[in-house]
Amino acid sequence: MRDLRLRLRRTRRTPALRRLVRETALAPGDLVAGAFVVPGNGVRDPIPSLPGVDRVSPDRLAEDARRLADLGVGGIILFGIPASKDPKGSGAWDPKGPVPEALRLLHRASLDLVLLADVCLCEYTDHGHCGVLRPGKQEVDNDASLEFLSRAAACYAEAGADVVAPSDMMDGRVAAIRAALDADKHADIAILSYAAKYASAFYGPFRDAAGSTPAFGDRRGYQMDAANRREAMREIALDLDEGADMVMVKPALAYLDVLHEARDSFDVPLGAYNVSGEYAMVKAAAAAGALDEKRATLEVLTAIRRAGADFILTYHAAQAAVWLGERE
């Protein structure tokens, strides 16, 4: 037993040895940065609940995307914040909206960066839910929402998105979006489904950033119960059957068991979303001097990779890429 412990310890003795035997690799190319896009020009509006993250206009986003590409970050996902909202969330498929405008700019720039567009109505509806409501009722109409989600996905594909990422958790939305993309001659555009998206307490800063807190009720009727793991595997299987090319688990840290089981169960590209609340916790603890931000951030991201994620959506992307470029 002692000899085995000595053998294990010997391989930890120097930074070079630790790198040589390291089981899990984390690289900038494994990361997808999140970005909040607003209308206008020259806008850079800091988000207090997400230190280091701004709401930006398309032109400023183009500047940020060039830096991400230079750092080797794998991709960027866009969340739109429209100038005005309505019950249907019609800004989601407005070709002059902030996300399509930004996608056109980024597409023309030909950056070595995967362009992803989040597909949901919550940022665009005046009630803050992820789909449209039944007439005269305070409940989401799943089937009626599919048409509008499909319009948004087709709009983003036309503007230059490489990947559309439905995050709404409406039943059947992957099939509806795939059909809409194919009908619009966008059969080459991939779908990343938020297949296992939980009704989580860790979304608070995002809702603050996007102004998407529900005006009534909550999203537990269509997002998953935090207590369920097997249900997530059924959700993932259904989305793959409908045509998803990639799937994602959201959030990441409190759901590493779900992520690990998904990796064992499905041989497809698998993402994990290191969500706004997880990011904000690290930032707050670091600001209070309670932990080392660099070490904690890279440890969190490595843990998500170790659990099975092929790629990670994270607000840490730019800073993590800088740190990853430094030697241990």
The answer to whether residue 250 is catalytic is yes
Torsion angle of C-alpha atoms 139, 141, 142, 144, degrees rounded to 10: -160
Residue 313's beta-bridge partner residues?
Answer: 32, 273
Q: Which of 96, 197, 283, 294 is catalytic?
A: 197
Residue 15 domain flag: no
Q: Is the CB of residue 94 less than 8 Å from the CB of residue 140?
A: no
From the list 96, 250, 283, 294, the catalytic residue is: 250
Distance CA 91, CA 128 (A): 13
With respect to residue 256, please indicate whether it lies within any of the assigned structural domains: yes
> Is residue 119 in some structural domain?
yes
Has residue 18 been placed in a domain? no
- Tokens 């899990």, located at residue: 24
CA distance linking residue 130 with residue 149, whole number of Å: 9
**What total number of domains does the chain contain?**
1
pLDDT (tens digit, 9 = 90+) per residue, 202-238? 999 999 999 899 888 889 989 999 999 999 999 999 9
**Cα of 259 vs its chain's centroid, Å:** 14
Amino acid at 230: R
The answer to whether position 11 is within a domain reads no
pLDDT tens, position by position, for the chain (328 residues)?
A: 668 778 888 888 999 999 899 999 999 999 999 999 999 999 999 999 999 999 999 999 999 999 999 999 999 999 999 999 999 999 999 999 999 999 999 999 999 999 999 999 999 999 999 999 999 899 999 999 999 999 999 999 999 999 999 999 999 999 999 999 999 999 999 999 999 999 999 999 999 999 899 888 889 989 999 999 999 999 999 999 999 999 999 999 999 999 999 999 999 999 999 999 999 999 999 999 999 999 999 999 999 999 999 999 999 999 999 999 986 5
Residue 218 belongs to domain with CATH number: 3.20.20.70
Kindly report the pTM of this predicted structure: 0.95
In a domain, 20, yes or no: no
> Rounded to 5 degrees, what angle do the CA atoms 238, 232, 151 make?
50
Identify the domain containing residue 317 by its residue range: 29-324
Whether 277 and 202 have beta carbons less than 8 Å apart is answered as yes
- Domain assignment present for residue 16? The answer is no
**pLDDT tens readout for residues 268-298:** 999 999 999 999 999 999 999 999 999 999 9
Q: Does 313 reside within a domain?
A: yes
Structure tokens belonging to residue 295: 């070490």
